[in-house]
Every structure is written in C-alpha cells, then in structure tokens.
C-alpha cells in the first residue's frame, strides 16, 4: 500500500481529466482473502475534483465500501476536507485532518489530566517540517501508518462487521511493517507534536494492535492467514536533550512474549468463563515507559570523565478503553512491573573506554538478633532442688518491596530493580508454584493502603533519591571534540496476580528495547 505516492501522482488542476470516473485507489479487496458468497467486496479511496471560492481547484478524498450490502453496493464511509491542488503542499490539510481525528477518538485512560477535548488542534508548522525534511519514500510509510490508524476507527466502529473482518485479515497485517520501517520519521513526529498528542496517537496504535492480537489468540482464523511478524510490535525511541538521555517506549501487553503462565510455559490453561473475561480485560492494556538518565562530561588532563545517574524511571500500564465502565469488576485488575533492567554504555566494539566504575555495592543487609534467657528455680523445704531454664531468640529483618542493584555487562552499566513479595520475600517475576498452587496474598490490593508498592493508578516511579550513586566511564583524551553514539536500553517484566478477584490465574510477560543516543564530547556543550 503506497497511498502517498498515489496522491502525489494525481493530476494537477490544469490536467485533471474531464470524466465522471474519479481516480480510484483500491485499499483492500475480498478477493485477496476469500469471500464466502463470492461477491466482490472492496474498500477504495476516491479522489474527486471540486471548486472552491474564486474557482480554486480542490480535491476531496472519500473512503467508500463496495459490495458489502445488497441494497447499497456503494457506501461512502468518510469524506476529507477539500485540499487545494495549487498549494505548495496540497495534502498537508489531509494529513492534519487524519491526525486530529485519530487523536479525537483515541482510547482514554479516564484518569488523565489532559482530556482529549482539551487538546489544541495540531499546528501545521511541525507537520510541514516533517514533510520537507524526509524523502517521499521514507515519509510514505509514516503516512500509511497514519491512514491505517484512521481506517481502524472507520472499519471497526463505523462499518458492518464484514468490513472490520476484512480490515483485520487482509489490510492490516501486510502493512504493519510501517511501524518498524523508517522509524526516524515516527520519532520526529512524536517529538514535534508534544507529549499529550503523542500519548493519544500511541494509545490508538496500541488499541488497534491489541484488537488484532486478541483476535489471533481467540482463534478466529487469523493464525493461518496472518502469522506474527518477525519485527517487534510496539515502538520505542531515544533522544539526547539538555543533559538527559531519554528512552520512551510503548508495548501492547499481548505483543510481549510470556515467560510463564499458571506455571506453564508459552500456553494458556483451560479457563472458566470468568477467567476468560479477565483475560479480555487484561488484553486491553499497554505498557508506557519513560527512562530518563542524567549525564555529565568532565574534561581533565589526559582523560575525559562521563558520569550518568538515574533521574527518573516511570512505568505506567494504561487501560485502553472507550468507556469508563468497559471492564466492570475487572477495572482494578492489571499487569504490574515485577522486574526492571536498564543499561547504558558505549556502542559495541568501542575501544576508547578505559574503565567503568559502578556506584552501588551489592546489598548486604544486617539482621538484628534478640536473645532472651529466663531461669526458674524452686528452693525451700524441697530436698531436691528444681531449676528450670528457658532461652529464646528472635531475628528481625527489614523487608522492602523493591531491591535495587548495579551490575556491568562489558562497558555497559546495568541498573536493575526486582520486586519481591513483602510477605514471603519471593521474587515475583520468577515465581512458579507447584501444580494447582495459587498466588500468595502479599500483593493483593496492591493499589491501596499505606504500604503499597505501586501508585494509585497502578504504575511505579523511581527517582534519583531511590537509586543512589551513579556510574562513570573514563575515556581517552583523543575523543574530545567528537560526538559518540551511546547505547541505552531496557528490559521489563510485567506480571499479573489477582488484585481484588479470587482467581488462580497469573502470568508474566517480558519486553526489551535498545536505541542509540548522542554523547557530545565538546567543551561548553
């Protein structure tokens, strides 16, 4: 699918043909996926020339359905705003309209401080700059992704079920590669529109992927037609700004491989109806991560010193729903981070790093031991003295939910946090009970109470005061004046244990990201 090239090749205002048949781009046809009644069904994009004020030549685009209803073979599903053919960027208004409509219909987490209705309209300047700064080939994949997201709402919510089925079976899977190819265009777009619009766009994308992955797992014929792609479903990008390295990442829950589920590997057990509804609620969730490291560069005689420390690590599991009451009694049931592994360091194969110094010792907790001795005796007229002695001892340790550690992998520094159940002390991410065992109760009602390990919305935040000292690299003086590529990545385990429900179901999933950021070794920068 290459809609952008088709749009750019439309005739100019002077060359537009005098014909009743407008230019047509076939988005998808039922012939590709098979149609039970052998009736040709298709979704097409039409371009129609219209006239504006002062006889200005305009083109209006429409998405139409063909053959989905016997009495209405042609149905218009969507109409664009008119686009001026004589303008320098005639389809910039179209792109702005698509993005604004995606943001307006994005699923809400219902606890956001920025409702969709309060988002300002996107400014055209950043989008215009994206058009100018990327080649038509690289921009085409981004436009395809935007159009796929807009078509998702049209085909799934505003059309007959047959249209949604055709979208998921035939249209979406072959074009998902737009998410992984030309990643830099998506990165530029997200950084340009601001974090509020970014969240809305990525939650629409996550909701769309969640629906497709859920249909595959439910077994509705999608497995054989749409195998899972080799690339990662989800998105991450990294940037360097104002002394920070920042990694942002998004991953729908179902796109994360399972490490264990009810004690079994990579398969679901047979579940009752209640557990099936629970799984449905859990499927509509997305992990949203922000990893923010502060760095500094020192210039000394004979060497350079690069220091880094954790400034903020934030993980939020967003519930993707269109209604506040979508999941009823399952509203408080969600996945939670159970193990976090962050790494940062030079690119693989680098020879300019002389040493890496960590800033935290392996935890060696002290244990308080109390000993009490009691002696009982009886004296007096008894000819046989009776003496009783009793000794008791007790040990007291402080137990925290999160255990923080530092490690090294070559020249990369590793920051790791492991969640432990505060009753039994077991590590949550690796817990595998005996057959028929139930999750322990230490993490029940984990979003309420004074000793909860998560905030009220179900996420977790670590700041610099939690982690302590940073890490440092000593570099060759010869690198001064250059801009190096530095690696930053993360690996996160998400677990589910029942919170308010009584259920034996649990699972753990895992996802990882890795990106590059700049390290400027320029004095004064």
pLDDT digits (tens, 9 = 90+) for 157-196: 888 888 888 899 888 888 887 777 778 899 999 999 889 8
Distance CA 505, CA 437 (A): 10
Burial (0-12, 13-18, 19+ Cβ within 10 Å), 363: exposed
Helices of type H across 69-194:
92-104, 124-133, 136-157, 161-166, 172-175, 183-193
Tokens of 43: 């979704």
Predicted confidence at residue 70, as pLDDT, reads 66
Share of the chain above pLDDT 90, in %: 33
Burial (0-12, 13-18, 19+ Cβ within 10 Å), 412: buried
Phi-psi region of 322 (alpha: psi -120 to 50; beta: other; left: phi over 0): alpha
Question: pLDDT tens digits for 199-258?
Answer: 999 999 999 999 999 888 776 555 544 555 555 678 999 999 889 999 999 999 999 998
426-452 as b/e: b if 16+ CB within 10 A: eebbebeeeeeeebeebbeebbeeeee
Tell me how crowded residue 259 is: count the other CB atoms within 10 A of its CB.
Answer: 18
Domain residue limits, the chain? 3-92, 234-253+280-364+400-525
Question: pLDDT tens digits for 9-43?
Answer: 888 766 676 666 778 899 888 764 444 556 678 89
Provide the Cα torsion 437, 442, 444, 445; round to 10°.
Answer: 180
Pairing of strands 74-79, 57-66: antiparallel
Look at residue 497 and tell me whether its pLDDT is greater than 80. yes
Question: pLDDT tens digits for 361-394?
Answer: 777 666 666 666 666 665 556 666 566 666 666 6
- Most confident range (mean pLDDT) of 125-129, 291-295, 421-425 is 291-295
Question: pLDDT tens digits for 424-444?
Answer: 778 888 877 655 445 556 677
Burial (0-12, 13-18, 19+ Cβ within 10 Å), 301: exposed
- 480 band by pLDDT with thresholds 50, 70 and 90: very high
């Amino acid at each position: 699918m290459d809609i952008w090239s088709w749009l750019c090749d439309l005739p100019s205002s002077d060359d537009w043909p005098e014909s009743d048949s407008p230019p047509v781009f076939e988005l998808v046809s039922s012939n590709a996926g098979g149609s039970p009644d052998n009736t040709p069904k298709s979704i097409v994009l039409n371009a129609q020339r219209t006239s504006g004020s002062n006889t200005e030549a305009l083109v209006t685009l429409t998405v139409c359905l063909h053959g989905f209803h016997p009495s209405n073979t042609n149905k218009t599903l969507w109409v664009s705003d008119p686009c001026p053919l004589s303008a320098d960027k005639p389809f910039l208004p179209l792109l702005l309209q698509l993005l604004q409509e995606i943001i307006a219909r994005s699923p809400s987490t219902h606890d956001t401080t920025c409702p969709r209705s309060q988002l300002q309209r996107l400014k055209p300047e950043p989008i215009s700059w994206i058009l100018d700064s990327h080649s038509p080939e690289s921009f085409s994949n981004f436009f395809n992704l935007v159009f796929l997201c807009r078509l998702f709402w049209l085909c799934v919510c505003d059309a007959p079920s047959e249209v949604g089925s055709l979208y998921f079976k035939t249209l979406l899977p072959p074009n998902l590669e737009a998410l992984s190819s030309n990643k830099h265009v998506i990165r530029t777009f997200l950084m340009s529109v601001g974090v509020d619009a970014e969240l809305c766009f990525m939650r629409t994308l996550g909701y769309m992927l969640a629906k497709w992955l859920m249909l595959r797992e439910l077994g509705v014929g999608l497995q054989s037609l749409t195998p899972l792609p080799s690339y990662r479903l989800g998105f991450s990008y990294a940037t360097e700004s104002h002394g920070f390295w920042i990694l942002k990442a998004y991953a729908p829950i179902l796109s994360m491989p399972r490490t264990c589920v009810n004690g079994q590997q990579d398969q679901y057990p047979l579940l009752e109806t209640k557990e099936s509804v629970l799984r449905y609620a859990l499927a509509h969730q997305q992990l949203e991560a922000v990893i923010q490291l502060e760095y500094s560069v020192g210039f000394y005689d004979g060497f350079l010193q690069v220091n880094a420390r954790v400034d903020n690590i934030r993980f939020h599991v967003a519930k993707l729903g269109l209604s506040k009451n979508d999941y009823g009694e399952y509203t408080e049931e969600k996945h939670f981070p159970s193990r976090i592994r962050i790494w940062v360091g030079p690119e693989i194969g680098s020879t300019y790093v002389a040493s890496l110094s960590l800033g935290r010792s392996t935890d060696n907790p002290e244990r308080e031991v109390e000993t009490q001795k009691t002696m009982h005796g009886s004296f007096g007229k008894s000819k046989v003295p009776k003496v009783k002695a009793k000794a008791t001892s007790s040990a007291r340790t402080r137990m925290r939910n999160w255990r923080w550690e530092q490690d090294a992998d070559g020249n990369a520094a590793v920051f790791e946090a492991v969640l432990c159940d505060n009753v039994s002390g077991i590590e949550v991410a690796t817990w595998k009970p005996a057959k028929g065992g139930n999750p322990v109760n230490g993490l029940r009602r984990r979003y309420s109470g004074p000793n909860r390990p998560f905030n009220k919305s179900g996420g977790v935040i670590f700041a610099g005061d939690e982690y302590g000292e940073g890490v440092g690299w000593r570099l060759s003086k010869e690198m001064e004046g250059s801009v190096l590529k530095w690696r930053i990545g993360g690996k996160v385990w998400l677990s589910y244990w029942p919170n308010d429900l009584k259920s034996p179901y649990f699972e753990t999933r895992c996802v990882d990201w890795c990106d590059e950021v700049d390290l400027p070794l320029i004095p004064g920068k």
